Amino acid sequence: MPNSIKAAEKVFHGVAVSPGVGQGKALVLGKPSHSSVKIQTISEAHVTVEIQRFERALVLTRQQLIEVQKKLSERTGGEHDSIFEAHLLVLDDPELNNEVLRLIQSQHCNAEFAYHSVAERYASSLAAVEDDYLRERAGDMRDIASRVLNNLRGNGDEADLRHVLKEPCIIVAHDLAPSQTAQMDHDKVLGFATDVGSRTSHTAIMARSMEIPAVVGLKTITSEISTGDFVLLDGVNGVIIINPSARTLAEYGQLEAQQESLHDKLRELQHEPAITADGHRITLSGNVEHADDAQAIIDCGAEGIGLFRSEYLFINQAELPTEEEQFQAYHKAAAALKPAPVVIRTLDLGGDKFRSHTDVPDEMNPFLGWRAIRFCLEEQEVFRAQLRAILRASVVGNVKLMYPMISGLEELIRANALLDECRGELRAAKIPFDENMEVGIMIETPSAALTADALAKRAKFFSIGTNDLIQYSLAVDRTNEKIAHLYEPTHPAIVRLIKLTVDAAHKAGHWAGVCGEMAGELHLVPLLLGLGVDELSAAPPTVPQIKFLIRQLKMSEASQLAAFALQCESSAEILDRCKALARQSAPQLFP
């Protein structure tokens, strides 16, 4: 054990954002070197060359971000692709980039100075606003700017952590950009700690999905730790310990042994069904965004794809994907998982997701605007191509289609009418498809939940998108930290809307699932089961733990929990009961 362990133990408390324990040598990263960029005057003749340098740097940065996004998607089932879609939109912002070009032309300055000046002004403006969500976007802006500047200087590798990680370590930094976190792997990164950050930051969210222990908000940790110090990081309790004592190491050694034993048990359950301790069967599926993610579904032990987010075939593409390209992607996923079901959600563009080749008008509130099924019913040429592609892929025999953001019966009737027309076109062309393909809808709006009985007459299944259902029902933007405490999955209204939806589906002889974040929250799984949910679909990395919990849980106790929740008036009391039952059923999951 390193000699530094003999020194006095020091304990620092921060915010726990990703569970797990890591111990090893610290690697302290310095702050980015772009705090100031010197101006260099260029000649009139050199302006065109400088502009070309800038444009090449943008192209290279785009390639790097897409590669980072692809690798992260392979590891997390595409759960966080939207983070990098947002980064790419910032990178391609015409207003910002045109301002850089004007600065180069008018001041005859180098591209580094021009881009840094404009990007930092944008970032500083964002950092100064009161809204926490917009302040967080300042960090994203600086992440992108750092990459562009590195590429302008020919130092593109500086943003790549893989080039500085020579051995396994605990990373300590003032802050970490999402693109840096996305490059981490368990072989080299045992955990990370930062001076700043919050539980809802992009970096923290990705750390949880990648199962990398992390503590943020430690304020001065970079000045307290030196590279080479031996540290222990506790991502469960939000603690980092410098020079841990033998007693501390022994205590944490027991915790790590328990965690390793749990991982072994989870691996053993990979091919086992999700059946409660008293014999109730639940379908456990995974959420994905790419056809290649089918392997992640197999590896995690899920029973198919409960949500294929098809919009990621459209976002940040130079051209619209053709019907044939879509068919190939859907068919590939279905064939890889046959006979397990593959539920393909039709385009959910809008809100925080746009495709680069569409002029989407600015909206005061895009989450309540022209998005999802509303977009598709207006852009019928795009919608028809997707419907035909899904129908053609259904020939495999395990494909189901699902419309997003249905708010009322008229939208469902119009969508189904277009689908029937596409069926007729394929029949006329003698192109085979599954005549019995199930068609369902996502329940994401209060209006859909309240009219679920009518919708169930024209849909074969429901999948509850709890993220939107909660924010629309409670009028809470879940990305706004100022009101994040009001985003309550256990709010009595949400519990009752879920129950109303499930009952309407069952009365019509259909199944009802949940594919939102609630499905992946371990302590909420018992509540969902008790409310009668038939299927849970979550990010592949979370599936093994959910399955373990289900197999330890008694359905009779889950039903009692749901009965309590349906008559309870307090979100906090419902949440406490949920946590208590989850811990009681599977204490190994809650160290």
Q: Give me the active site residues, please.
A: 202, 515
User: 10 Å Cβ neighbour count for 128?
Assistant: 10
Give φ, ψ of 282 to 5 degrees.
-120, 140
- The full DSSP string for 134-150 is HHHHHHHHHHHHHHHHH
The kind and range of the H/E element at 535 are strand 535-538
Residue 523: C-alpha distances to residues 52, 355, 434, 530, 561 (Å): 54, 35, 38, 12, 12
The answer for residues whose C-beta is within 8 angstroms of residue 565's C-beta and 6 or more apart is: 490, 492, 495, 527, 530, 531, 574, 577, 578
Q: With CA atoms as reference, report the closest residue to 294 among 267, 328, 330, 321.
A: 330
Helices (H) and strands (E) in the chain, counts: 22, 17
* Phi/psi of residue 103, nearest 5 degrees: -65, -40
- Alpha helices by DSSP H, listed for 153-245, are 178-182, 202-209, 221-224
Ramachandran angles phi, psi of 350, nearest 5°: 110, -175
- Residue 479 and residue 352: Cα distance in Å, rounded? 11
416 alpha-carbon distance from chain centroid: 30
* Residue type at 1 in one-letter notation: M
Task: Name residue 310's amino acid.
Answer: S
In one-letter notation, the amino acid at residue 439 is: V
Separation between Cα atoms, residue 340 and residue 3, nearest integer Å: 54
**What gap in Å lies between CA 320 and CA 336, rounded to an integer?**
25
Q: How far is CA 211 from CA 140, 187, 261, in A?
A: 22, 12, 16
